[in-house]
Chain A
Amino acid sequence: MRGMLGVFAELDATVAAIEDLKKGKVGDLTVFSPTPRHELEHAVHPPMSAVRKFTLIGALSGVTFGFWIAIWGSNYWPLVVGGKAISTWLPYVVFGFEVMVMVGALSTVFGMFFLAGIPRLTMTVGYDPRFSHGSYGIFCECTPERQAEAEAILRRHGAVEVRGER
């Protein structure tokens, strides 16, 4: 993994650099920002997050398990009351709902971790501590032959620092 890393102080300069790097097809881009910005998302134009699929699968599994544990537990250890059903749907909605929320939410977080590629053990390549503070960044992963082109674009748009990473 080698390429050029540019550090920017301004948002619009970062957006302009992303657009030029994409236009020139210089390499794969990783964009850094201290806070989520729609301007960057529009410039990168990524596909929609698939976290929702994890949410849906988790929620459906949870509601199924919630109802199942209550019905199975009631039938396995019946508390017989005259005129009353052993398993009843209405009170078991509580279990269905609560377990749906718990498993659905936890699988959402799992999905976020999985799709975002975290936990990450090493972060030395293409990262600068300034990106969590107040600066924006672009890491352009490219072949050595195209690094000069990437550097030129980053500098042209006002990067406060440009360096090679490997």
Chain B
Amino acid sequence: MATLAHPDEPRRPNIASADIQLPAVTSYEQVDNEILSILQPTKAWFGALLLALACLGLGAFSWIYQIHQGLGVAGYNPPVMWGVYIITFVFWVGIGHAGTLISAVLYLFRAGFRTTIYRAAEAMTVFAVMTAGLFPIIHIGRPWKFFWLIPYPNWRLIWPNFKSPLVWDVFAITTYLTISTTFLFVGLIPDIAVLRDRETNPIRRRILGVLSFGWRNTEREWRHFARAYLFLAAFSTPLVLSVHSVVSFDFAMGIVPGWHTTIFPPYFVAGAIFSGFAMVWTIIIPMRRWFGLRHYVTLNHLDASAKLVLFTSLAVGLAYLIEFFIAWYGGVQYEQDYFWNRVFGQWWWAAWIMLTCNMILPLSLFSQKLRRNPTWLWILSIFINIGMWFERFVIVVPSLSHDVEPWQWSSYVPTWVDYGLLIGSFGWFFMWFLLFIKQLPVMALAEIKEIIPPKMKHTHGHGGH
């Protein structure tokens, strides 16, 4: 394994992200050997998996308890009938945005820094959307009725209301989960073939042979693969923008102060990309350290991704300020009162956590020194994750608790069941992610090989070695 930490990396390079290279990775064999060595389970991995399973167990117990006792055990307090479950649903959908953004949008823009992080981000997306999809089912209290939202010929002879944003959501999330999973799996096929060809256990080799669909690395396969990958990226790009726009319609279609605004779709999309990238850092930065991958995810990669986080932070911050401006400029008393209550009234603490974590702390990324400091980026990612959960809290709870009718004003305090399910969602997410990183390559072998100069017989012409 290469021990070069940051070779050829100038102290303060001001490089374009498309030019990012991997100077310490010199051969295809090195890529296979180093990245596939991650697949060996370690004690620390088992420990992390046990912790994730413990969190999942708490979530499962909370859900079973809620099904047995009824929704009353959650913290709902009319008219606050959306709480931690919807907040957590929007949070995880947002987390799920970075994967497709990195794999599809940055692929179309030829942003080089995506190459070594997109596989982990794609897997994160699939598992985050799987997590998000649980929460509307948990929220309805009677999960066995969930299938009523799906349009299909049925014995009830009734169909869902196609004008409802909740039905739009079902279509948007289902499509997003399907396409994200497809994108992840299609990209994995050549890498599973690498695993198959190195496997010595005949049973595992057979399983990997089936999963790789008999991929043989022929020019014909690569030609159709590249074209299909391009079209999948082209489909996924507007899909990334549409999914969180549709989620934002759940709120924006409601005539509730703080919700009924046209700024929600771009505001939600920017927030989703922002939070998704933060979760990518939360996962990638420890991985590059523990698995010795610092010469794959270099400081240049982190620097480039930090610029994107800074940009989305500024976009989110602008959306926060525009919300206040609209409330003031619109002259609607209920809106003005609501926003005052959000920042200086009943919910000031939640709003200031949101503003501090999402607007103020990310301004540190204007400093190149901090953009190239992995420890700071990881700490910042935790703050952003917290801030983005609280952003959804601030959107959901204060609006419902401070509606247009003062006699309805109330409060909201989550119960242990709410918190149990929130913790359980992290357990569910990390359980899948931890299982993934020990079964399949966490970096795209074929794409990394693409950016390494190939071996040449004659050194002229191709820059080979």
Chain B residues whose CB sits within 8 angstroms of the CB of A34 once the complex forms: 28, 194, 217, 446, 449
Chain B residues whose CB sits within 8 angstroms of the CB of A94 once the complex forms: 168, 171-172, 242, 246
Chain A residues whose CB sits within 8 angstroms of the CB of B246 once the complex forms: 94
Whether A118 touches B214, Cβ cut-off 8 Å, given contacts A51-B228, A109-B186, A112-B186, is yes
Q: How far is the CB of A17 from chain B (nearest CB, A)?
A: 11
Residue pair A133, B28 in contact (C-beta under 8 Å): yes
Measured between alpha carbons, how far is A118 from B185 in the docked complex, in Å?
14
A10 on the interface (CB 8 Å rule)?
Answer: yes
Q: How far is the CB of A3 from chain B (nearest CB, A)?
A: 14
Residue pair B221, A158 in contact (C-beta under 8 Å): no
Q: A-B pairs with CB below 8 Å: how many?
A: 197
Residue pair A13, B457 in contact (C-beta under 8 Å): yes
Chain A residues whose CB sits within 8 angstroms of the CB of B464 once the complex forms: 10-12
A143 on the interface (CB 8 Å rule)?
Answer: no
Residues of A in contact, count (CB < 8 Å): 66
Whether A105 touches B456, Cβ cut-off 8 Å, given contacts A46-B223, A112-B227, A118-B213, is no
Chain A residues whose CB sits within 8 angstroms of the CB of B215 once the complex forms: 118, 120, 132
Stretch at the interface among A19-27, A67-75, A147-155: A67-75
Measured between alpha carbons, how far is A49 from B219 in the docked complex, in Å?
12
Whether A108 touches B228, Cβ cut-off 8 Å, given contacts A35-B446, A76-B159, is yes
Contact of B214 among A31, A32, A106, A121 (CB under 8 A): A121
Measured between alpha carbons, how far is A95 from B160 in the docked complex, in Å?
13
Residue pair A123, B216 in contact (C-beta under 8 Å): yes
Residue pair A46, B220 in contact (C-beta under 8 Å): yes
Which residues of A in the span 86-110 have a Cβ within 8 Å of any Cβ on B?
88, 91-92, 94-95, 97-99, 101-102, 104-106, 108-109
Contact of B231 among A31, A66, A108, A127 (CB under 8 A): A108
Q: How far is the CB of B255 from chain A (nearest CB, A)?
A: 15
Chain B residues whose CB sits within 8 angstroms of the CB of A163 once the complex forms: none
B8 on the interface (CB 8 Å rule)?
Answer: no
Q: How far is the CB of A25 from chain B (nearest CB, A)?
A: 18
Contact of B450 among A36, A109, A129, A158 (CB under 8 A): A36
Residue pair A74, B162 in contact (C-beta under 8 Å): yes
Contact of A98 among B175, B228, B457, B458 (CB under 8 A): B175
B193 on the interface (CB 8 Å rule)?
Answer: yes
Residue pair B197, A132 in contact (C-beta under 8 Å): yes
B61 on the interface (CB 8 Å rule)?
Answer: no
Chain A residues whose CB sits within 8 angstroms of the CB of B190 once the complex forms: 132
Chain A residues whose CB sits within 8 angstroms of the CB of B23 once the complex forms: none
Stretch at the interface among B232-240, B382-390, B393-401: B232-240
A83 on the interface (CB 8 Å rule)?
Answer: no
Whether A52 touches B175, Cβ cut-off 8 Å, given contacts A34-B446, A76-B159, A95-B162, is no
Whether A73 touches B224, Cβ cut-off 8 Å, given contacts A11-B456, A99-B171, is no
Chain B residues whose CB sits within 8 angstroms of the CB of A118 once the complex forms: 213-215, 221
Majority-rule SS of B interface residues: helix
Residue pair A36, B159 in contact (C-beta under 8 Å): no
Measured between alpha carbons, how far is A119 from B193 in the docked complex, in Å?
12
Residue pair A112, B222 in contact (C-beta under 8 Å): no
Residue pair B159, A91 in contact (C-beta under 8 Å): no
Whether A10 touches B179, Cβ cut-off 8 Å, given contacts A33-B219, A34-B449, A101-B235, is no
Measured between alpha carbons, how far is A157 from B459 in the docked complex, in Å?
15
Which residues of B in the span 186-222 have a Cβ within 8 Å of any Cβ on A?
186, 190, 193-194, 196-198, 210, 213-222
Q: How far is the CB of B213 from chain A (nearest CB, A)?
A: 4
Q: How far is the CB of B350 from chain A (nearest CB, A)?
A: 31
Chain A residues whose CB sits within 8 angstroms of the CB of B158 once the complex forms: 77
Contact of A123 among B182, B214, B227 (CB under 8 A): B214
Whether A73 touches B175, Cβ cut-off 8 Å, given contacts A36-B446, A98-B242, A123-B216, is no
Q: How far is the CB of B190 from chain A (nearest CB, A)?
A: 7
B47 on the interface (CB 8 Å rule)?
Answer: no
Interface string of A111-151 (1 = CB under 8 A from B): 11101111111110001011111100000000000000000
A161 on the interface (CB 8 Å rule)?
Answer: no
Residue pair B227, A51 in contact (C-beta under 8 Å): yes
Measured between alpha carbons, how far is A59 from B197 in the docked complex, in Å?
36
Whether A127 touches B216, Cβ cut-off 8 Å, given contacts A70-B162, A109-B232, is yes
Measured between alpha carbons, how far is A40 from B161 in the docked complex, in Å?
53
Measured between alpha carbons, how far is A131 from B163 in the docked complex, in Å?
53
A37 on the interface (CB 8 Å rule)?
Answer: yes
B43 on the interface (CB 8 Å rule)?
Answer: no
Chain B residues whose CB sits within 8 angstroms of the CB of A109 once the complex forms: 182, 186, 228, 232
A44 on the interface (CB 8 Å rule)?
Answer: yes
Q: How far is the CB of A46 from chain B (nearest CB, A)?
A: 6
Q: Can you name 21 A-B residue pairings with CB atoms under 8 Å?
A: A12-B464, A32-B219, A35-B449, A69-B151, A73-B160, A74-B159, A76-B159, A98-B168, A101-B238, A102-B179, A108-B231, A109-B182, A116-B221, A117-B221, A118-B213, A118-B214, A120-B214, A131-B216, A132-B217, A134-B455, A158-B457
**10 nearest interchain CB pairs?**
A120-B214, A129-B197, A134-B28, A112-B228, A73-B159, A49-B227, A35-B449, A36-B222, A119-B213, A77-B159
- What is A's interface to B at a CB cutoff of 8 Å? 9-13, 30-37, 39-41, 44, 46, 49, 51-52, 55, 59, 66, 69-70, 73-74, 76-77, 79, 88, 91-92, 94-95, 97-99, 101-102, 104-106, 108-109, 111-113, 115-123, 127, 129-134, 158
